Structure 1
Amino acid sequence: MKTAFLCVAAGVAALLALPFLLSQGLLNAAVQMLIAALFATAYNLLCGQGGMLSFGHAAYFGVGAFATVHAMNAVGGAGLLPTPLLPVVGAVFGLLLGSIAGWFATQRTGTYFAMITLAIAELVHSLAPHLKGLFGGEAGVSSMRMPAWGFDFGSTTQVYYLTLGWALLCVALLYLYTRTPMGRLTFGLRENSHRLRFLGYDVHGLGTAVFAISAMFSGVAGGLQVMSNESANYVVFDPSLSAAVILNSYIGGVKMFLGPAFGAAIMTFFGYAVSDLTQSWLLYQGILFVLVMMFMPTGLAGLPGMVRRLVQRFGFAQVMPLVALSCGAALSLGAGGVFLVELLRRVFSQDYRAAIVAGNDWPAVTLLSRDWLPGSPITWLVPVALLAVGAALAWLARRRRAALEAAEAVDAAAPTALEADAIVKEGLA
């Protein structure tokens, strides 16, 4: 517990110091990471803790966004709703829509629940372009952050601290919720809702409440998005946003409280940093999701815990070679895969085919600041060699893990010194 508290305190201190360490462009990316982390944490209350997989959580994010932007235009960031408190409007409208939608959706469970949430989100998404008075059509609705509490909120640094304050407050409230009796019952929904019903609990009412609370905090995230961008467009209802929060949550790890926040922050930064370098960044995100689901069911946030358990089980000196082999395999396989994908993408692009037609030759492809000839065997040997090395390291890592488990089994089966003495004495007698 003390270690977890120190890690959280160190993380908060690092977040507070970011404006002094990053440029304005990277600080704006940090704002988007905080918003995505809050959205994923709110979604995880429903999916990871409540066991209810929603395919349409962008609806509540979007409603919170539009409610906040209309409040910004209506009150001007003054009076009872100064600019720092405007995300409360997003929370209220997210709660209202979440209560209504949750009442219908939680009538069913499993696949039927997921389909109902998808249908509700698609309904809102299809209506938004036609309700121009509410959603502004293709142009959307714009506003401006107004001064309040001695701040003008004109700089990215002030917007960052405003977003950070709301994100920390909401994440803390969500964590405190998990420590309440209702939070414990939420875990019961995931584990065995039939048992809760047998014990006399109103399962439908509990599911509706969990859905509404998750939607409320999603509305706060939508409000913060508007505070950052000073505008809202019906694109926030797009199904891709609902898909993104699901991917981010599972990549981070839905069984850990901060896992989805970690996954959302990592993938948001990944998209910000890599989208300018390659058009295939969504492909890499999908590949990462598949690999996490296949080999790391606890998500990326579960890796430190996995290593800690291995150290407790086998010892530090025995585990470090296994970790080194695994990291080497991941790096080599990743480098080989990226090289191959980028090379194939360039070779099969329309521009490259046009260059072949114009020159009747296979021109060189620029990759990693170097020209590679697609007709040369060396060009294709590089990714093949990287993939082969990665596969070999992965095989060695599996062998190392199997050897450690076999040695542990032998040690467990071998009698202790006292047991051996007892066996000898019994034999002599």
Structure 2
Amino acid sequence: TTFAMITMGIGEMVFASSLMFPDFFGGEGGISTNRVVGEPFLGITYGHGRQVYYLIAAWCLLSMVAMYAWTHTPLGRIANAVRDNPERVEFIGYNTQRVRYLVLILSAFFAGIAGALSAINFEIVSAENVSAVRSGGVLLAAFIGGAGVFFGPVIGAIVFTLFAVALSDLTKAWLLYLGLFFVMMVMFVPGGIASLLMMQMPLVAKKQFGRMLPYYGRAAVAGAVLLAALILTVEMVYKVQVDSANGTEMSLVGINFDAGTFAPWIVAAALWALGYAAWRWAAGQVRAQLDAIQTQTGGHA
């Protein structure tokens, strides 16, 4: 925790310096660049967006291979041990602070690659790139995907991007949805989305995953009803509390209604009740079926 606070403090110091020394950092406007300046490399000018895409994709693939290979080195394995149980690692004679320091240096190397690719893609680097919001977004994505699984942060980055790019075009309350999603992950799936996928591996190995699909489908339907109730409630609250100056009439999935009347709120309450009851029933079915599989196969399902 102390190490994390120190690194966060250093990040905030760099962010403050970016505003205090505009001659070096470019101030609030940042520093602009031009990726097509200079002689073409093998005829590649990076003027076309597709060329930049392939460059970024190549570096991402190389970085992923390098990181995966590193996890199988002695340092990578002891770093995983420090993450899971630092007290036991210290007991067997390793310096956990030094391990974390070396991992920090390595992570800064890959972060530098990401920053360089970002500068090439957007052709600008500003104070926002070193802000706590950007750093927090990266940590949020890693947690959502699952920091304990190698491909977890990749899943988290995809989900976070969908929230920030796709969902932000559909609703102004996208940050609220992201916050609620994060809270739900912390409360019910602390291992991240990747942990849910890894939990299915024993079922796949025992050829029992297909048996669970109907029960997962029922849970998905119940979750969809709860999601519909949440979306309807959030959008109506946002319309009434934030955007009421433009009237309370609104449209959702092509349906026009007035959020200032009782009818849509009654529908939302009914969806909440129906979704909650369906989820309790579907979750019980899933647990019962998992217990039955575990009993039949004699092991962890």
TM, length-normalised to structure 2: 0.89
Counterpart of 1:364 (choices 249, 255, 258) is 249
Q: Report percent identity of matched pairs.
A: 35
Output the CA distance in 1 between the equivalents of 2:24 and 2:45: 27
Aligned: 1:233 with 2:129: no
Aligned: 1:114 with 2:7: no
- Superposed CA deviations along residues 191-217 of structure 1, whole A, max 9, x for unmatched, are 333443443334333221111001111
What is the aligned partner in structure 1 of residue 150 from structure 2?
257
- After TM superposition, the structure 1 = structure 2 runs for residues 315-334 of structure 1, keeping only pairs within 5 Å, are 315-316=208-209, 318-334=211-227
| 1:387 Cα offset (Å) | 2.0
Task: State the secondary structure of the residue aligned to 2:169.
Answer: coil
Task: State the secondary structure of the residue aligned to 1:372.
Answer: strand
Q: Sort the Cα spacing of 1:385 and 1:143 in 2 relative to 1 into closer, same or farther, 3 A.
A: same
What is the aligned partner in structure 1 of residue 108 from structure 2?
215
Aligned: 1:401 with 2:280: no
Aligned: 1:343 with 2:228: no
Output the CA distance in 2 between the equivalents of 1:188 and 1:317: 34
| 1:120 Cα offset (Å) | 1.2
Q: Which amino acid aligns with 1:253?
A: G
Greater alpha carbon shift after TM alignment, 329-338 vs 174-183: 329-338
Output the CA distance in 1 between the equivalents of 2:224 and 2:67: 36
Output the CA distance in 1 between the equivalents of 2:294 and 2:142: 36
Counterpart of 2:270 (choices 381, 385, 402) is 385
Output the CA distance in 1 between the equivalents of 2:197 and 2:97: 37
Greater alpha carbon shift after TM alignment, 152-161 vs 309-318: 309-318
- Superposed CA deviations along residues 84-122 of structure 1, whole A, max 9, x for unmatched, are xxxxxxxxxxxxxxxxxxxxxxxxxx2x22221221111
- After TM superposition, the structure 1 = structure 2 runs for residues 23-422 of structure 1, keeping only pairs within 5 Å, are 110=1, 112-146=2-36, 147-310=40-203, 315-316=208-209, 318-349=211-242, 351-352=243-244, 354=245, 363-404=248-289, 407=292
Moved over 4 A (4+): 310-314, 405-413
Residues 141 and 153 in structure 2, CA contact (< 8 A), matched pair in contact too: yes
- Superposed CA deviations along residues 276-332 of structure 1, whole A, max 9, x for unmatched, are 221111111111111112222231223333234346669346412220111112211
Q: Sort the Cα spacing of 1:301 and 1:195 in 2 relative to 1 into closer, same or farther, 3 A.
A: closer
How many residue pairs match? The answer is 295
Output the CA distance in 1 between the equivalents of 2:93 and 2:294: 45
Output the CA distance in 2 between the equivalents of 1:185 and 1:292: 27
Q: Structure with the greater relative contact order (CA < 8 A, sep ≥ 6): 1 or 2?
A: 1
| 1:348 Cα offset (Å) | 1.1
Q: Which amino acid aligns with 2:12?
A: E
Unaligned runs of 5+ in 1: 1-109, 357-362, 414-429
Output the CA distance in 2 between the equivalents of 1:247 and 1:372: 35
- Superposed CA deviations along residues 150-185 of structure 1, whole A, max 9, x for unmatched, are 101011100100000111111110110001111111
Asked which structure has the greater CA Rg, the reply is 1
Residues 365 and 374 in structure 1, CA contact (< 8 A), matched pair in contact too: yes
Q: Which amino acid aligns with 1:125?
A: F
Residues 146 and 191 in structure 2, CA contact (< 8 A), matched pair in contact too: yes
- Superposed CA deviations along residues 31-69 of structure 1, whole A, max 9, x for unmatched, are xxxxxxxxxxxxxxxxxxxxxxxxxxxxxxxxxxxxxxx
Residues 314 and 404 in structure 1, CA contact (< 8 A), matched pair in contact too: no
RMSD of the TM alignment (CA)? Answer: 2.3
Greater alpha carbon shift after TM alignment, 401-410 vs 189-198: 401-410
| 1:246 Cα offset (Å) | 1.1
TM, length-normalised to structure 1: 0.64
Q: Sort the Cα spacing of 1:401 and 1:232 in 2 relative to 1 into closer, same or farther, 3 A.
A: same
Residues 31 and 126 in structure 2, CA contact (< 8 A), matched pair in contact too: yes
Q: Which amino acid aligns with 2:86?
A: S
Q: Sort the Cα spacing of 1:404 and 1:250 in 2 relative to 1 into closer, same or farther, 3 A.
A: same
| 1:131 Cα offset (Å) | 1.2
